[in-house]
Amino acid sequence: MDEHGRYLQEHFTAGRVVFFGPVMANDGAFGVAILEMDDEAEARRLGEGDPSLRAGPNIFELYPMQVSAARAKAPHPAIEGVPGNAAGEMGW
C-alpha cells in the first residue's frame, strides 16, 4: 500500500488528484480519490495505473461527478508542513 499512497500523492502534487484517502465504513474500509481530468480516458489511465490495482486486491471504479459547491479547509495541525497536504483530519 506504500506504493499506492506514493502513486496518488504524485498525482495529487501534479494537480490531477483533488483529494484522496481511506473511508472507514462500518462494513470495511475503502479508498476514495477525486480526480480532475480532461476526459474519461485520462481518468481511467490514472486508475488503472495504480500499483495496488495491478498487484491486487484493490478494484477501480470510475464515476463522473458534477460539483455543485466546494470549499477548502485549513490544514490540520498534525500535518502542517507535510509536503502536498492541504488537510488531513478525518471528517464526516
Alpha-carbon gap, residue 52 to 39, rounded angstroms: 23
- Is the full-model pTM beyond 0.85? no
Listed as own residue / partner, the contacts of 23-28 with beta carbons closer than 8 Å and 24 or more positions apart are 24/90
Q: What is the pLDDT of residues 32-83, one digit of tens each?
A: 999 999 999 999 999 999 998 888 778 899 999 888 888 877 665 555 555 5
Domain ranges, ordered by start, for the chain: 2-79
Q: The domain at 2-79 falls in which architecture?
A: 2-Layer Sandwich (3.30)
Examine the pLDDT at 10 and tell me if it is beyond 90.
yes
